[in-house]
Chains A and B, each alone.
Chain A
Amino acid sequence: MPDNPQVVLKITDLVKSFDSTKVLKGINLTVGHREVTVIIGPSGCGKSTLLRCLNGLEPIDSGQIELNGQLITAPGTNWSAIRQKIGMVFQNYELFPHLNVIDNILLGPVKVQGRPRQEAIIDAQSWLDRVGLKDRALSFPRQLSGGQKQRVAIVRALCMSPQIMLFDEVTASLDPEMVREVLDVMLNLAKGGLTMLIVTHEMAFARAVADRIIFMDDGHIVETAQPEAFFNNPETERARRFLNIFQFQELERRRA
């Protein structure tokens, strides 16, 4: 939040291209401690790529990324260590199908961080309890609904005690009736003071959860604003057009 000046993530002049197409054309962004930043924008605007660059899933062309003041884009970065501090949740959950829920969650804390198993289990159980999946610890992913899987995926990332969480369109693959349960979990995390960077298409959710909205188009950050200001009165023409499309879809949905 703006009233907390401590910076968790600082992105400077980030450029990324696939082959000859530039996807990110100089991104500058700062995320403060306990701040919830929501990135929205049309598909193909580069918002998912931005998230993937932040934990090294995509190599970048130029620019700098700092995590808690540490430059993580220098050559020879120990990505394993960095990724432990950055939690990521994917669109398609990506639970490990051969492990049950508790083993999915424990893999990181026990094998990567070397924490005692018993201690990690207690931690995992309390998180599962908080997302309403207390009794599912021994289920396999195939036995869970999409919404349940995504909540497990969130817990899996949380149990690494990350300094920031990245959410990459985490409700995009879910059936409509399961979207709510996942968004509720995220809303609670935001209230609890977790630093979050969220890419989403759920406008109402974005409005409710965000401390700040980032609107991206064509590889640029076009607009940065408070949620109320952004949704009521966007400053740029592009943002206005984008929101119009959504309002229209909203109307269609109501008529149908």
Chain B
Amino acid sequence: MLDSAIEIFTAGRNTARLFEGLAITLKISAAAVGLSILLGIPAGLLMSSKKRFWRVSLKLYLEFIRIMPILVLLFLFYYSLSSVFNINLPAVTVSILVFTLWGTAEMADLVRGAVTSLPRHQWESGRALGLSELQLNLFVIVPQAVRRLLPGVINLTTRMIKTTPFVFFINIPDLVKVAQQIVEVTGIRNPLASVWVYGVIFFIYFAICYPISLFSRFLEKAWQN
């Protein structure tokens, strides 16, 4: 049994290709998480502000994104963007775009949750000191909110990583696609190929996500006061 595994992972560039696939998976998640944080923070601050227009429209946006499966969004942007607006984006760009749209919504909600959980007198004492709105957010609110935020952000990261297999559907050679190709090629000679290859990527995902979720749990406990 073990022979078949050794055969698969030593044959040709199989192992190297799996790592290339993993690199694409991680690249998409990293880019999307980074952009989501960047865009999600201002969006979240707007959501928790008194500006009605922003509050309502961002809430609608969030609800829509929450309800739509990511896969549907990928299809929407990959296939309809080109035909309706005549914009042709590479698949990787589309996937980063879609993950960012989703991540921004989730991030904004996390920020809103963290900000609204802060006691009201924080704002009042900040204003009493004569801080401008920007200064107030930058020096008073954000530093405190970050602590309440971080476990959620880390959680969002693992969710992103676990959702990246969806890019398989728009033909990006990510970890899953590579795995499938390897199984297709070697599966004829080696009937156990699918067990080994899918088993291995199962544990690759686990090996990446589990430590991250442990870290998030650790932070949550450490900051619980």
Direct contact of A and B (CB under 8 A): no
B-to-A contact residues, CB < 8 Å: none
